[in-house]
Structure 1
C-alpha cells in the first residue's frame, strides 16, 4: 500500500478541516483487500484497500478520510444499533439503508470547501430528501429500490451502521480505542469547534453543542417524574371502613380502617406570563395531555391552572385543546401554588410548567411537586446587569423541557 500517499491525504484533510485533526490522527489505518474502498469499525480502526489508494486522487482521498471519521464522531454505529433494536431492523439490506441515511447526514459537511466529493457520493437531494436532517429522520423516508441501486456498492464499515464485517478485528484486536479514549477524542474535537466559532459548518456546531450538553429525553423524564410522584407514599392514599384492616383481628371489638389506594389528583400550573412564548405554551398543552396519560387516563382528576401574577381560574381537564391559557402579564407562581393548594379536594401532585423567571414559595407544599422548566439561554435584566433569576426550589423535582 502507498502509505506515503495515504498519510499525505490525511494531512491534506487536517489542513482543510483543522477542527477534526484530533479525530483524524486517532484513526489507525490497516491494510485490507477485503474492504471495497475505505471503512471504519467502532474501535476507530480504518481499513484501507491498497488498490483504492492507488486509483484515487490525493484530494478525494482526503475527503474520504473526513467522511469516514465523521461516521465515528457522530456515533453512527451506536445509533444504528439503537434504531435496529427499536424498529426490529436486521440484515445487510437494512444496514445498507442505515449507511445511506448516515451518508446523507454527513456529506454536506464532509465535502466541499477544498475537499472534492468522490464520484457516487450520496446526497439527500439525489434521493428526493430534505437536506439538514439526521440519520434517524432519513431512514423512514426511503426504501431500497431502483433509485438507490447506484449506491449498492456503498460500504463504510461497521463504524457507519453497527453491523460487523468480515475484515473487522473486533474488540480484542490491536490498535483499537477504548470507550474512554473515543469519548476523549470526541470531546477534543468539540472543544476545537467551540473554541473557533464560525470555523465549522452549522451541522458540526450543533454536534459540538450537544457533545458538551447532551439533550435529555425530557418527555420520558417528565412522565417518569410525574408517575413517581403519583406513586409515592401518601399520594392517593386514603382510609376506608368499607373493608376493615387485617389488624382488626388482633383487637377484638375494635374496627380499624384499611388503607385504600385511589388514583392521584394532579394540578398542572402553567406559566402564562409575557416571558413564555406561544411555542412553549403549545408545548405545555402537549405535556398536559401526556400527564393525563401518565396518571392512568383519569382526566377528571387532572386540573389545569393558568397563572401569570395571579391565578383566577382552574380548569378540569376534558380536552387539552380546549384549555384557555389566559395571562400575559408579570410572573408570580406563588399565586399559582396558593390557588392549587386551596382546591378541594387537595391535589396529591402539583406539576409546574414555567420558564423559571418567578419567585417561588419559601416552604415546600404538603404534596409532591414536579417542575418542568422551559430551556432558556442565560437571562438578564436590562435595568440590572447583576440580575440572576430565582432558581427552582430544592424540594421540587426539576426536569428541563426542550
Structure 2
C-alpha cells in the first residue's frame, strides 16, 4: 500500500517469512471495512485475493486482483487492514490507472510520484472519515499541499522519487509490476464489469447519504461526478448540431445548372451534370410555454444560431417556430435577436415538430429547445432531431432524439 514519509516503517517484521496467508484475519478486516462502510461492500467483495511474498504490503492490478503479503497481514492490526482494503479499492473505484494514462509521457514514466499523489488523494479522505491507516502513509500535508485535492493537482508538488516509496500496483499508477498475474491470469474483473461496479457503488453512496446524511466529501464528489458528469453543454450542443448538419449536408446530387468540367472535352455534344453538396435546412422549435425560462432559452438559441452560421446554414435556410401547445410564429432568421417568442400556454413539442416537417422547405435537422415536459411524436420522424433540455431534472425524450442538457442559469 503506502510507503513511508520520513523514516520507513519496514513492510515485514522480524522472524521467518510466514508460510501461509492468514486469510481469516485478512477477510475479517474486509468484513469490518464493508460493515462500517456498506456502500463499498460490492466493490470490496469483488476483489480477488492473491497471496504474494513479492508484494511489499498490499496492491491491486487493473483487473481487480488484490495482491497481499502474508507478512504484512501478520504484522498489521485488523483495524488498519480494514483501512488498507478501503485504500486499495479506492484506487480502482476512482479509476486511477485510467486517469494516469492521460498524464504526460514524462509523468507516466515516473509512476512512483504518480502513486504518491494518488495516495494523497485517497488518504486525506480516509483519515477525515476516521479510518485508521498504517504508519508511514502519504498525506498532502507532508508535501505542503492542501487537503481535498485530486492526484493530478498534487502531482506537480510531489518531489523527485524518494528511496522508499509506495507501489500499489498497476490498478493505481497503471504500470504492470512483476508480482502481477497479467491480463491472462485467473480471476479478476473485466472492463465492463468494473464500470458497473463503479456506478453501483456511486448509487449506493447516494442512497447512504440520503438515509444517513453523511458521506465523506471526497467520496461525495466522486459519486456526483460519476453519476452526473460535468459536461460543457454549449460544446455538446454545438457538436450535436454540427454533426447533424454535416450528416445532412453530406448528401450529394447531380445538377445541370452548373455543367461538369468534363463537358468541354466532349466537344459540347454531351452535357454532363456536376455533383453538388446541398446545404441542410434547419428548423428550430422553441418551447414558449409558461414553464420555460427566458435566460436559458436565449443562451441556447444563441449557441444554435452561432453554430449554424459557422457551418454555413444561414438566411432562408433557418426557420424558427415559437410553440407552446400550438405554433404561434414561424420566422426565418440569421441571429438570435431576430426571434420573436410568443405563447405562454400549455406544451406540445410534437405539434412544433410536425409543423416544422410541414414547411414548404422541409428541414433536414430539427432543433428543439424545451424543458422536456412535453409530448413527443410517437415514432421517429424523417429527419435528425436534437433536443436541448433546459432545467434542473428534465424528463428524457424518446431514444431517437439526440439530447443535450442545459443547466439552469447557464
Matches within 5 A, 1:191-270: 192-193=204-205, 196=208, 197-199=210-212, 201=215, 204=219, 223=239, 226-228=242-244, 230-232=246-248, 239-244=255-260, 255=271, 257-270=273-286
1:316 aligns to 2:329 (yes or no):
no
1:373 aligns to 2:386 (yes or no):
no
TM-score by length of 2: 0.67
Q: Cα deviation per residue 1:96-148 (whole Å; 9 max; x = unaligned)? A: 454455445544554444522554343599764573x6x5xx52x45434668
Q: What is residue 91 of structure 1 aligned with on the other side?
A: 108
Q: What is residue 291 of structure 2 aligned with on the other side?
A: 275
Question: Does the 8 Å contact 1:53/1:61 carry over to 2?
Answer: yes
Change (3 A) 1:375 1:79: farther
Matches within 5 A, 1:23-62: 23-62=43-82
| Alignment partner of 1:168 out of 180, 190, 204 | 180
Q: What is residue 4 of structure 2 aligned with on the other side?
A: none
Q: State the shift of 1:22 in Å.
A: 3.0
| Cα distance between partner residues in 2 of 1:159 and 1:279 | 45
1:307 aligns to 2:325 (yes or no):
no
Q: What is residue 39 of structure 2 aligned with on the other side?
A: 19
| Cα distance between partner residues in 2 of 1:297 and 1:126 | 53
Question: Does the 8 Å contact 1:311/1:335 carry over to 2?
Answer: no
Q: What is residue 93 of structure 2 aligned with on the other side?
A: 73
Change (3 A) 1:35 1:272: farther
What RMSD in Å do the two structures reach over aligned CA positions?
5.0
Q: What is residue 384 of structure 1 aligned with on the other side?
A: none
Change (3 A) 1:228 1:349: closer
Q: What is residue 386 of structure 1 aligned with on the other side?
A: none
Question: Does the 8 Å contact 1:236/1:265 carry over to 2?
Answer: no
Q: Which structure 1 residue ranges, 5 or more long, are not aligned? A: 380-390
Q: Cα deviation per residue 1:64-94 (whole Å; 9 max; x = unaligned)? A: 111111222333323433x24xx5566332x
Question: Does the 8 Å contact 2:58/2:66 carry over to 1?
Answer: yes
| Cα distance between partner residues in 1 of 2:139 and 2:73 | 20
Change (3 A) 1:289 1:233: closer
Q: State the shift of 1:159 in Å.
A: 0.6
Change (3 A) 1:101 1:358: farther
Q: How many residues align?
A: 376
Instruction: State the SS of the aligned residue for 2:257.
Output: strand
Change (3 A) 1:125 1:288: farther
TM-score by length of 1: 0.68
Question: Does the 8 Å contact 1:266/1:301 carry over to 2?
Answer: no
Q: Which structure 2 residue ranges, 5 or more long, are not aligned? A: 1-17
Q: Cα deviation per residue 1:233-280 (whole Å; 9 max; x = unaligned)? A: 786867342215989999x97756444114334344444555345774
Q: Cα deviation per residue 1:178-197 (whole Å; 9 max; x = unaligned)? A: 45664665566456546654
| Alignment partner of 1:354 out of 370, 375, 378 | 370
